[in-house]
Amino acid sequence: MTRYALGIDGGGTKTQAVIVDDRGQLCGVGLGGPSNYDDVGVDITQASIWLAVDAARRMAGLSQIPFAAAFLGMAGVVSPTDRAVIQEIAQNLDLASPQTIGVDHDCRIALAGGLSGRPGIVQIAGTGSSTFGLNAAGEGWRSGGWGQLISDEGSSYWLGVEAMRAAVSAFDGRIDNTALLEKVQTHLELAHLNDIMHRIYITGLSRAEVAGLAPLVIEAAHEGDEVALELIDRGAEALVACVFAVARRLGFAGGPCELAMAGGLFRAGDIFVQPFKNAVLSKLPHCRILPAELPPVLGAGVLSLQMLDIALDDEITQSLRQAAERI
């Protein structure tokens, strides 16, 4: 009898669900609203998860749940209390039996997808940044990812803040001129750079709006702007400090390991990826660095299959990679 595993990727803007069978075949995909319960509360989180699961279930043609196993990788889940909240939601929705429901942070599923279930490290660099690793003994460690106010160095948000800092510093004459001055002013639709204070402190800039300035840094770097290039180098070094902290904690620092790159900043291409790789290899010369092999939601599917003691053989891995092309 075919067994079905559910994977959930719950984030601040959307929730994604996948259903895979015990051979790794993709059966259904569903989408729901935000499910970071720190932001939207328990009720909306539960509703968003159910919306995604129900859509995936209907696509798969399954008349009922529970599933054989379910794994939920959720933004904002970092403590035992957080895990208990999501566990209760999963049980309320009858997603699987309590013994086959797994809950962890979204970095865990990013790693499981990034390396198709193998031990190693994932570096996430998107709106925020975080590093997570898991060794062969099952020991895990996270570095960074403490939020934009005290962490998230090397992320799009961090680059956005640094772009604004560079713009005002160049305007003041504290640093040499940079293309970021004009780019930031134009992007924020400021008649004069002095208007930036009202835009930041009165009108306000959302986290997404600040992160939306990161492409200006990438663009300026492509144009050869030295300030932008230096920001990318600094961002790469900040990310690698987290990578090395995880590697040292998990016993990867002295030998070979794998590192998956996940998140929108890595899609900027070599202008961002190459400084990051160079910085990693300066600390971890035996590290194999590669793009994420599967998206995080399929990483949740991988962890769900592993909860059923299903080993990821070549056939299942190939099926999952084919599934990734369909998502």
What pLDDT, on the 0 to 100 scale, is given for residue 327? 82
Q: 28 forms bridges with which residues in the sheet?
A: 19
pTM of the model: 0.90
Please check whether residues 104 and 44 belong to one and the same domain: yes
CA distance 311 to 299: 14
- Average pLDDT for 21-44: 93
* pLDDT value at 231 more than 80: yes
Q: Are residues 93 and 181 in the same domain?
A: no
Confidence of residue 25 (pLDDT cuts 50, 70, 90): very high
Q: How many CB atoms lie within 10 A of CB 285?
A: 8
Q: In whole angstroms, what is the distance from residue 293 CA to residue 296 CA?
A: 10
Indicate if 276 and 303 belong to the same structural domain: no
- Provide the domain limits for residue 257: 119-292
> Given the DSSP bridges, would you call strands 26-32 and 15-21 parallel, antiparallel or unpaired?
antiparallel
Average pLDDT for residues 169-193, to the nearest whole number? 97
Q: Which of 77, 114, 131 is nearest to 240 (CA)?
A: 131
How many whole angstroms separate alpha carbon 284 and alpha carbon 291? 17
- Residue 204 binned pLDDT confidence (cut-offs 50, 70, 90): very high
Average pLDDT value for residue range 33-50? 93
Report whether 24 contacts 308 (CB < 8 A): no
168 and 204 housed in the same domain = yes
Whether residues 243 and 282 share a domain: the answer is yes
Question: Residue 63 — very low, low, confident or very high, per pLDDT cuts 50/70/90?
Answer: confident
Q: Once rounded to an integer, what is the mean pLDDT over residues 152-161?
A: 95
Residue 98's pLDDT is: 95
Query: What does the pLDDT read at residue 322?
Result: 93
Contacts for 164-167 with beta carbons within 8 Å, 24 or more apart? Answer: 164/196, 164/200, 164/210, 164/213, 166/227, 166/228, 166/231, 167/193, 167/196
| Residue 13 reports pLDDT greater than 90 | no
Taking CA 271 as the corner, what is the angle to CA 267 and CA 277, rounded to the nearest 5 degrees? 85
Q: What is the pLDDT of residue 300?
A: 98
Residues 279 and 178 in one domain: yes
Mean pLDDT of 32-44: 91
Given a cut of 80, whether residue 64 has pLDDT beyond it is: no
Strands 101-105 and 4-10 come out as unpaired
79 and 163 assigned to the same domain: no
Give the residue-averaged pLDDT of 77-103.
96
How far is the C-alpha of 298 from the C-alpha of 156, rounded, in Å? 24
What pLDDT is attached to residue 254?
A: 85
Query: 94-98, 149-153, 224-228: lowest mean pLDDT where?
Result: 149-153
Q: What are the backbone dihedrals phi and psi of residue 153, each rounded to the nearest 5 degrees, phi first? A: -60, 145
Statement: residue 21 has pLDDT above 90: yes
What is residue 326's predicted lDDT score, i.e. its pLDDT?
A: 87
- Looking at the structure, do residues 139 and 212 belong to the same domain, yes or no? yes
Same domain, 151 and 269: yes
Q: Indicate which CATH number applies to the domain containing 183.
A: 3.30.420.40
Position 22 pLDDT exceeds 90: yes
Q: Is the pLDDT of residue 47 over 90?
A: yes
Q: Per residue in 240-292, pLDDT tens?
A: 999 999 999 999 998 999 999 999 999 999 999 999 999 999 999 999 999 99
Domain total for the chain?
2
Residues 50 and 161 in one domain: no
Same-domain pairing of 109 and 126? no
- Binning pLDDT at 50, 70 and 90, where does residue 1 land? confident
Q: Yes or no: say if 11 and 36 are a contact pair by the CB < 8 Å rule.
A: yes
Mean pLDDT over the full length of the chain:
95
Residues 226 and 263 in one domain: yes
